[in-house]
């Protein structure tokens, strides 16, 4: 595949996927999602690879979610395909992160916001730079990811905290994220890569079959969430056509606060 939105590297058993759109804080568009999915499948298929690392280019952001500048009343920028209504095949991407029979580590180097936070939530393990910031912003920009983004998040941080994260759209520091169980470890920014390498080496020493079966068993317990995701993405496709959803998207692009007051009915 011709890669433009990500950098994909393989080295000593580790596949590293770097979202490479730093000018938009590594927000993803349809092409970015397709390239990430392709890379995860390649790593899945390559017997030399035992662990996958997902990170973002630059030192500002891991990923700021869906690219709002590529979003319209028709959804994101891909028509047709498995993305169906919303124009982004995020469900497919979420599926490969969960299903690849190898541990996936998120190296959270900066903002993990919206769909970007959902990506790090879905990774098996997350190591964060002390500069990282976490949060959901869907209700601010007229959007939501109400499958793994809500139900699975609740399993990780608890129902009350998950509701707070989505309803308030606040941002949380790396230390706060660690406290609520959203990430495994926080390290000084310059030590992020070194720490991730250390965790990769430890994983690579372990039995791949044992790791695979453990991952499948963890997944089995939350497998029904995929159904919630399908319903949520289906409804999101319809929601994106509304004035209310567009108010959120337009406010972000126009750099003004959204006014949702007239939609409270």
Question: Who contacts 234 (Cβ-Cβ below 8 Å, separation ≥6)?
Answer: 84, 85
Question: In angstroms, what is the minimal distance from the CB of 239 to ligand S0N?
Answer: 10
Identify the residue whose tokens are 């009350």. Answer: 160
Identify the residue whose tokens are 């390649």. Answer: 42
258 binds ligand S0N (CB under 6 A): no
Q: For the purposes of burial, counting CB atoms within 10 Å of the CB of 92, is it exposed (0-12), middle (13-18) or buried (19 or more)?
A: middle
Under DSSP, is residue 51 helix (H, G, I), strand (E, B) or coil?
A: strand
Binds ligand S0N (CB under 6 A): choice among 136, 192, 211, 247: 136
How crowded is residue 154: how many other Cβ atoms within 10 Å of its Cβ? 17
Per-position DSSP letters for 229-258, written without gaps between them: HHHHHHHHHHHTTSHHHHHHHHHHHTTS--
- Please tell me the distance from the alpha carbon of residue 190 to that of residue 106, in angstroms, as a whole number: 16
- Binding track over 187-226 against ligand S0N, x by CB under 6 A: ----------------------------------------
Using CB under 6 A, which of the segments 98-106, 133-141, 201-209, 237-245 binds ligand S0N?
133-141
Q: Tell me which DSSP letter residue 160 carries.
A: H
141 binds ligand S0N (CB under 6 A): yes
69 binds ligand S0N (CB under 6 A): yes
Using CB under 6 A, which of the segments 45-53, 60-68, 122-130, 175-183 binds ligand S0N?
60-68
Using CB under 6 A, which of the segments 8-16, 142-150, 151-159, 220-228 binds ligand S0N?
142-150
Binds ligand S0N (CB under 6 A): choice among 14, 15, 17, 27: 27
- Binding track over 113-132 against ligand S0N, x by CB under 6 A: xxx--x--------------
67 binds ligand S0N (CB under 6 A): yes
What is the β-pairing status of strands 6-11 and 14-19?
Answer: antiparallel
* Residue number closest to ligand S0N, CB atom: 114
Question: In angstroms, what is the minimal distance from the CB of 46 to ligand S0N?
Answer: 28
Rounded (10°) CA dihedral 124, 69, 176, 17: 30
* Dihedral sign (CA 208, 210, 212, 215): negative
Was 216 annotated as part of a binding site? no
90 binds ligand S0N (CB under 6 A): yes
How crowded is residue 150: how many other Cβ atoms within 10 Å of its Cβ? 22
Q: Residue numbers of the site for ligand S0N (CB under 6 A)?
A: 24-25, 27, 64-69, 86, 88, 90, 111, 113-115, 118, 136-138, 141, 143-145, 149, 252
Residue numbers belonging to the annotated binding site for substrate: 64-68, 76, 111-115, 143, 240, 255
């Amino acid at each position: 595949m011709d890669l433009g939105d990500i950098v994909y590297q393989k080295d000593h058993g580790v596949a590293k996927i770097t979202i490479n759109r730093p000018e938009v804080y590594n927000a993803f568009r349809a092409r970015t999602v397709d390239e990430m999915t392709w890379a995860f499948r390649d790593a899945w298929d390559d017997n030399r690879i035992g662990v996958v690392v997902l990170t973002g280019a630059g030192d500002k952001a891991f990923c700021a979610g869906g690219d709002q500048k590529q979003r319209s009343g028709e959804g994101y920028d891909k028509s047709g395909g498995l993305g169906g209504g919303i124009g982004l095949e995020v469900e497919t991407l979420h599926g490969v992160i969960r299903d690849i029979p190898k541990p996936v580590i998120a190296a959270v180097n900066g903002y993990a916001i919206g769909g970007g936070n959902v990506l790090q939530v879905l990774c098996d393990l997350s190591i964060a730079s002390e500069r990282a910031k976490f949060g959901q912003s869907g209700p601010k920009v007229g959007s939501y990811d109400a499958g793994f983004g809500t139900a699975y998040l609740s399993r990780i941080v608890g129902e009350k905290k998950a509701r707070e994260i989505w309803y308030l759209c606040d941002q949380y520091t790396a230390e706060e994220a660690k406290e609520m169980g959203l990430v495994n470890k926080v390290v000084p920014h310059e030590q992020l890569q070194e720490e991730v390498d250390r965790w990769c080496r430890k994983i690579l020493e372990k039995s791949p079959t044992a790791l695979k079966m453990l991952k499948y068993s963890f997944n089995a317990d939350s497998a029904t969430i995929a159904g919630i995701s399908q319903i949520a993405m289906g409804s999101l496709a319809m929601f994106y056509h509304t004035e209310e959803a567009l108010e959120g998207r337009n406010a972000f692009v126009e750099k003004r606060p959204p006014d949702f007051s007239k939609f409270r009915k």
